[in-house]
Chain A
Amino acid sequence: MATWLKQAAAGMAFALAALLAGPAAAQADDGPRRVVSINLCTDQLALLLAAPGQLVSVSRLAHDPQSSALHARARALPVNGSGAEEVYLLAPDLVLAGTFTAASTVQMLRDLGIPVALFAPATSLADIPARLRQMGAALGREAEAEARVAAFHDGLAALPTAPDPRPRAALYYVNSYTSGDRTLAGDILTAAGFVNVAGEAGLEHGGTLPLERLIMLAPDVIVRGRDYPGQSRAEDVLNHPALRRLAGSRLVGELTDRDWICGTPQVLAAVRAMTALRMEQAR
């Protein structure tokens, strides 16, 4: 290859790198400049807190309006499939992942010299300020994180208090799965003024609640998981006729994934929706 061609290629590569890194360099002074998120929940936290240009890619689910509360904002960014190979080629200086992200992916990225920050899933509303602060520290955006934490506390304080008696509710997902009190979804239910029947069934953390046992618990309200695209036999249980035959139980509401699964201030939307449901139930 002619020398000039090599030089031109090197020059172009340099220009490209500068172009890619450019906007981030202008914005974040002390934090990482090319951040890639490979987990839906770290996507949400990073979209909330990152400086313009700092976040360069989000996980594929972030574009799904059903799963991602900030999907509109996420659409401005390219998605990644959360695999080590494609994440490495994005040349990040920080990768954001969940503690349940495949350990092999995390280890591979670390072996390649890329720092990976791991975020544990929130299991209660109280975890959310901690996750916001952790993300703020990882991105060098502590002030923004504190502002979001304060707004979240205001939002919680503004919720109406629950009058007694508290209605008994069950969360029912695909494959007869339910969430117990020691989960984020269970905490949302409690904050909205319901008693979670999963506790009566001995499922503190959640687990399989066979249809028969759900019916025997006879909850006042059964909140079912969302409908996923396409069909599956696993979802049949959510439409079982027995759920409708139970006198005194109502099938209402929907567990909108985007508001329920990630520990972000977005859960306030789920709490408000469930609070409205409880007020309606009280009448």
Chain B
Amino acid sequence: MKLLLGLGALCAALFVAALLSGQADAGAARSLAALLAGDGTPLSVVMREIRLPRAILAAMIGASLGLAGAAMQGYLRNPLAEPGLIGVSGAAALGAVLAIQSGLALRHALALPLAALGMALAAVLLILALAGPRGSSITLILAGIAISALASALTSLVLNLSPNPFAAADIVFWMMGSLADRSFVHVWLALPFMAAGWLLLAGMGRGLDALTLGEDTARAMGVRLSRLRLQLVFGTAAAVGAATAVAGAIGFVGLVVPHLLRPLVGAQPSRLLPASALGGAALVLAADIAVREVLPARDLKLGVVMALIGAPLFLHLIYRTRAEMS
């Protein structure tokens, strides 16, 4: 409980810092006053229409990715399972790009998150089919590489075929993710799907706890593994699909956060789930502050910062699990 309160306070502090981070420099007190006033002055428009939705999205997306990573690692009992690494985010990006480029997203706003969700669903199912119930590291990573490569190749192909002269440059956005200039339209588009995903994933805690004792014991304790599996599949697809549809594929959040928090919760999945959601929100908020403070005038992608943090940890985890892999 103490940990959750601490993480919650960290999220709140980073949320305020994210609101105060941006190209328009106007002082903290004035900015926050303008946020509350909402009087149509330029500063209040900046605070309410640009920074507020961006900070909300960062928190929502971070929570989704952190939660999905913790749930997936709990179910597969493998610390390398992460939506970005195993190709779920990449597949969701492909779905989003297909919805946008086919014009479906223009006709029905919901087509964008639904298409991303659909492709994420396909990727999760494929991963689970390939990795098997215990998810050995080698099959998990190889399947992830294959799915990521295929998804990113198809995303690039679709964007290169687009008649739009700027579509090809969008490849970077879909591969690396960014929250630049997102608005409340994107918040409302993603929120229902994410909320559904959170509910499904958060409900997995007891089952995942039982699963740490082995599948037979879990069954004996009354855990229905097929139901747990469905929760994981649909929860991950909804949360990661919606996050990717509005912000592109942001990797490593689901890897880094559960890894850092696992020792603090005594490696208990039911406690790791809420902690990872808050930790993910804090990490993405911090990363989104970093991209704006380091290079304010350039649209540095979130995925760059996340990979700089996450890739060394990923290497470390592979080094540690190499015995299993060889």
What's the Cα separation between A217 and B105 when bound, in Å? Answer: 32
Tell me the minimal C-beta distance from A30 to chain B in angstroms: 39
B24 at the interface (CB under 8 A from A): yes
A229 and B164 within 8 A (CB): yes
Known interface pairs A215-B24, A215-B46; A231-B181 also in contact (CB < 8 Å): no
- Tell whether, in the assembled complex, residue A231 and residue B49 are in contact, meaning their CB atoms are under 8 Å apart: no
Which bucket holds chain A's interface residue count? 20 to 34
In this assembly, does B185 line the interface, its C-beta being within 8 Å of a C-beta of chain A?
Answer: yes
Q: Which of A210, A218, A231 contacts B42 (CB 8 A)?
A: A218
Q: Are A241 and B185 in touch, CB under 8 angstroms?
A: yes
Q: Does B278 contact A (CB under 8 A)?
A: no
Instruction: Tell me if A283 is interfacial: C-beta within 8 Å of chain B.
Output: no
Residue A6 interfacial (CB < 8 Å): no
B192 CB → nearest A CB, Å: 19
Please state if A231 and B43 are interface contacts (CB–CB under 8 Å): no
- Which of chain B's residues has its CB closest to A246's CB? B45
B46 and A242 within 8 A (CB): yes
For B48, the chain A residues whose CB sits under 8 A away are: 245
- Which chain B positions have C-beta within 8 A of A208? 297-298
Contact A231 B103 (CB under 8 A): yes
Q: Is the CB of B181 within 8 A of A236?
A: yes
Question: Does B22 sit at the interface, judged by CB under 8 A?
Answer: yes
Whether A233 and B173, one on each chain, are in contact in the complex, defined by CB atoms closer than 8 angstroms, is yes
Chain A proximity mask over B92-136: 1 for CB below 8 Å, otherwise 0: 000000001101011000000000000000000000000000000
A229 touches B163 (CB 8 A): yes
CB nearest neighbor in A for B100: A231
Residues on B with beta carbons closer than 8 Å to the beta carbon of A211: 50, 181
Whether A174 sits at the interface, judged by CB under 8 Å, is yes
A258 to B26, CA, bound (A): 39
Residues of A within 8 A of B100 (CB): 231, 233
The yes or no answer to B40 lying at the interface (CB within 8 A) is: yes
Residue of B whose beta carbon sits closest to that of A228 = B164
- Report yes or no: A216 in contact with B42, Cβ–Cβ below 8 A: yes
Instruction: Identify which of B26, B40, B42, B166 contacts A232 (C-beta below 8 A).
Output: B166
Expressed in whole angstroms, the Cα–Cα distance for A245 and B41 within the complex equals: 9
Task: Give B101's nearest chain A residue, CB to CB.
Answer: A231
> Beta-carbon contacts of A211-254 to B below 8 Å, as 1s and 0s?
11101111000000000111111111100111001110000000
Chain A residues within an 8 Å CB radius of B174: 233
B254 smallest CB distance to A (angstroms): 23
- Whether the pair A242, B50 counts as a contact (CB closer than 8 A) is yes
A83 to B185 alpha-carbon distance, docked (Å) = 43
Within 8 A of B (CB), among A44-93: none
Given the contacts A230-B162, A245-B49, A216 and B170 also touching, CB distance less than 8 Å = no
Give B154-185 interface residues, CB cut-off 8 Å to A: 162-167, 169-170, 173-174, 181, 183-185
Does A190 sit at the interface, judged by CB under 8 A?
no
CB neighbours of B103 from chain A (8 A): 231
Cα of A150 to Cα of B24 in the assembled complex, Å = 46
Confirm or deny: A179 has a beta carbon within 8 angstroms of a beta carbon on chain B.
Answer: no
Q: How many angstroms between the C-alpha atoms of A233 and B298 in the bound complex?
A: 16
Distance A181 CA – B164 CA, assembled complex (angstroms):
28
15 other A-B residue contacts (CB within 8 Å) besides A212-B46, A241-B49 = A174-B166, A176-B181, A210-B296, A215-B24, A215-B50, A216-B42, A229-B164, A230-B101, A230-B163, A231-B100, A231-B101, A234-B170, A242-B50, A246-B45, A247-B41
Subset of 25 A-B contacts with CB under 8 Å: A174-B166, A210-B22, A211-B50, A211-B181, A212-B24, A212-B46, A212-B50, A215-B46, A215-B49, A215-B50, A216-B43, A216-B46, A217-B42, A218-B42, A228-B163, A230-B164, A231-B100, A232-B162, A232-B165, A233-B170, A234-B170, A237-B181, A241-B185, A242-B46, A242-B183
Closest 6 CB pairs of A and B: A230-B164, A242-B49, A247-B40, A234-B166, A230-B163, A232-B166
Task: Please list the residues of chain B having a beta carbon within 8 angstroms of any beta carbon in chain A.
Answer: 22-24, 26, 40-43, 45-46, 48-51, 100-101, 103, 105-106, 162-167, 169-170, 173-174, 181, 183-185, 296-298
